[in-house]
Chain A
Amino acid sequence: MKKRLLHGLIYIILGLIVSIGVLTVFHACPVMKDMIMKCYWTQRVSVAVGIGIVILGVLAVFVKGKGFADGLDVAAVLFGVLLILLPTVLIGVCGAKHMHCHAATRPALMIAGALTILYGGCSILWRRRNKEA
Chain B
Amino acid sequence: MLIKAKNLVKSYKSEGVSHRIVDQVNFSMKHGEFIIVKGVSGSGKTTLLNLLAGILTPTDGEVYFEGSDITKMNDRQLSQMRNQRVSYIPQNDTLLKTLTLWDNLHLPFFLGKGGEITGDQLDEKLTELLKEFGLWDRRNAYPSELSGGEMRRALIIRAMALDPELILADEPTASLDPDTTLSVMEKFRTVSNRGIAVLLVSHQPQTYSYGDRLYEMKDGKLRPAKEHR
**Direct A–B contact present (CB less than 8 angstroms):** no
Q: B residues within 8 Å of A by Cβ?
A: none
